[in-house]
Chains A and B, each alone.
Chain A
Amino acid sequence: MTAATDDRLWTAVAEPSRLRLLELLLEHGSATPSRLARELPFSRQAASKHLGVLNRAGLVAGHREGREVRYEVDPERLAAAARVMNGVAARWDRRLAAIKRIAEELHAQGGSSI
């Protein structure tokens, strides 16, 4: 299943308007296609169609609400992946801060000429 799942994921976000939609959905937490379409340069039908693709890729989940479907991102998958990226970035921030401190200390001691 992995290769196929990957392909679906990649196809789902490779389209810029779908990525924008996903970003918007992240900002809202959950939303219906009409709600999202109000903030995007495309129709409710188009939003609906894009959300369907994201849904099949497992990135969002939908449940019926009256005549519409309300969608939300899968927080568990996203949080797990987000932690990976944030962890790496945070580690480098700490390391760069330490490099800065050490280099400035060394420079102040006249280390550049040693």
Chain B
Amino acid sequence: MVADSVEREVLIEAPPDVVWRVITEPRHIERWFVDEAELDPRPGGQGLLTFRHTPTGEHLYRLQVVAAERPHRFVYRWMHSDGVHPAEGNSVLVEFTLTAEGEGTRLRVVESGIQALEWAEDEKSRYVQDHNNGWVRILGRLQDYAPEVAAGR
């Protein structure tokens, strides 16, 4: 079991192929995800995601497609440093699974390797990153209780 991950899903009243286009075509990605997207949605394909208006200014992220099985599965890695080949441990893995359900689609997303996402930006905190590995791992199991804790109890 990988606890260092977040899983979410939604039921969409549109067939898988339409949902596939929404998650892989830049003109749609720019409506639900980032301000500007470039993407070659084939295995090994590269992408560039631009967030323009964040509290800390503009951010660019490279993305690499790991798997693209239209219209069932789309997987990519991102959040790795420039010039680094994305792999487990240095990047965040995002996996979309599309399953036909009735006339619609169940879209499931799993994001894993989150400690890389949350801590990599803070260069000075290698310590924090190491320190939090074990900590973040257990949180998947504690998530049910987290809201009240996060609320400041």
Tell me the smallest distance from the CB of B78 to a CB of chain A, in Å.
13
Q: Chain A residue with minimal CB distance to B119?
A: A84
Contact residue range for chain B? Answer: 35 or more
Q: How many CB-defined contacts (below 8 Å) exist between A and B?
A: 133
A2 to chain B, nearest CB (A): 4
Indicate whether B52 reaches chain A with its CB closer than 8 angstroms. no
Output the least CB separation between A22 and chain B (Å): 8
Contacts of B140 in A (CB 8 A): 85
Shortest Cβ distance from residue B21 to the other chain A in the assembled complex, whole angstroms: 7
Question: Which residue in B109, B131, B136, B150 is a CB contact (below 8 Å) of A5?
Answer: B131
Name the CB-closest residue of B to A6. B134
Contact yes or no, B117 A88, CB < 8 A? yes
B138 in the interface (beta carbon within 8 A) = yes
Given A81-B139, A96-B8, A107-B14, also A86-B22 (CB < 8 A): no
Query: At the interface, is chain A mostly helix, strand, loop or mixed?
Result: helix
Interchain CB contact under 8 A, A98 and B32: yes
Binding site for B on A (CB under 8 A): 2-3, 5-7, 9-10, 13, 19, 22-23, 26-27, 29, 73, 75, 77-79, 81-86, 88-89, 92-93, 95-100, 102-104, 106-107, 111-112
* Apart from the given pairs A83-B150, A85-B114, A85-B140, 15 other A-B contacts in the complex at a CB distance below 8 Å: A6-B133, A10-B134, A26-B142, A26-B149, A27-B145, A75-B153, A78-B146, A79-B150, A79-B152, A82-B142, A82-B150, A84-B139, A98-B31, A99-B19, A99-B107
